[in-house]
Amino acid sequence: MSKTRVILVTSCKGGVGKSTVTANLGLALARSGHRTLLVDCDFGNRCLDLILGTEDEMLYDISDVCEGRVEMNEAAVTDRRSSNLLAVAAPYLAPEQHDFSVPDKEVFCSKLTAAGESMQLDYILIDTPGALGAPLELAAAAADSALIVSTHHPTALRAADGTASALSALGVTDCSMVINSFDPDSVLLGYRAGVIEMIDRAVLGIVGVIPYDPVFAIGGEHGELVYELDCRNVTAAFDNTAARIRGETVPLFTGWKGIKRKKLLKR
């Protein structure tokens, strides 16, 4: 088996869809036959379990693994939608708790490397908080590359630039962007940036564009992911993004219905 690819999913901005992208991209990779482990490193605000709908199954977390209480395969919950998708929670922080501790970087990296081999993983996706700090530094120590999640709002695109430079300082230089909550109408009306303009502005390659879809948003609040929901363009977008991450040449809007491709690409 080839080496496990460790990809961190981040942005120095909250609410842009990091956890949503981690979960749904993980499922898309898993459904394409690639064993994928999701690791929630949002230590202050665990939420991947809610997005996956596995909050009652996740008895152990990544700190339990790093502190030697359980092995990764015991802490990882297999997803009901694909046996190729596994996930490990971040520690639960009660509302009155404000402090959290982050595992030792060397231990974390060695646990991920060992899990990659013993669990025969193709991908490990690490979800991170929307800020610089110890959890991002931990994820960066283990990651080969980063997906920076942004929307096509100017503030988010600027934050994506800042995130890339922060990651570079942490030694992660292989960065690309996923544009989430993309609204085709706002581009056609001239309110928001199209794809070429975003590439120009952020100086980062775009590996995927995920449309905004209210059905997808509501599904995410109930532990449902793409393929279970009636949101065809979002599903196609995650399939395309997964294919591009695997190194396949797939045009960004393949499979989307009811959009004007050429106009969306213009600046």
Ligand X SMILES: Nc1ncnc2c1ncn2[C@@H]1O[C@H](COP(=O)(O)OP(=O)(O)O)[C@@H](O)[C@H]1O
**Would you mind telling me the total number of residues written for the chain in this entry?**
267
CB of 174 to ligand X, least distance (A): 21
216's contact among ligand X, Mg ion, none, with CB below 5 to 8 A by partner kind, is ligand X
Angle between helices 105-118 and 134-142 (to 10 degrees): 40
For residues 12 to 51, the per-residue mask of contacts with Mg ion, x marking binding by CB under 5 A and - elsewhere, is: ------xx--------------------------------
Inter-residue contact 7 to 29 (CB < 8 Å):
no
Distance in angstroms (rounded) separating the CA atoms of residues 55 and 51: 9
Q: Is 244 in the site for Mg ion (CB under 5 A)?
A: no
The residues near 178 (Cβ < 8 Å, ≥ 6 apart) are: 9, 21, 25, 147, 148, 149, 150, 206, 207, 208, 209, 210, 241
Residue type (1 letter), 47: C
Tokens at 94, concatenated: 């009660």
CB of 22 to Mg ion, least distance (A): 8
> Of 116 and 209, which has the nearer Cβ to ligand X?
209
Q: Is 123 in the site for ligand X (CB under 6 A)?
A: no
> Of 4 and 139, which has the nearer Cβ to ligand X?
139
> Of 116 and 210, which has the nearer Cβ to ligand X?
210
Which of 111, 8, 106, 25 lies closest to 60 in space, CA to CA? 111
- Residues found near Mg ion in the complex (CB under 5 A): 18-19
- Residues found near ligand X in the complex (CB under 6 A): 14-20, 47, 130, 180-181, 210, 212-213, 216-217, 220
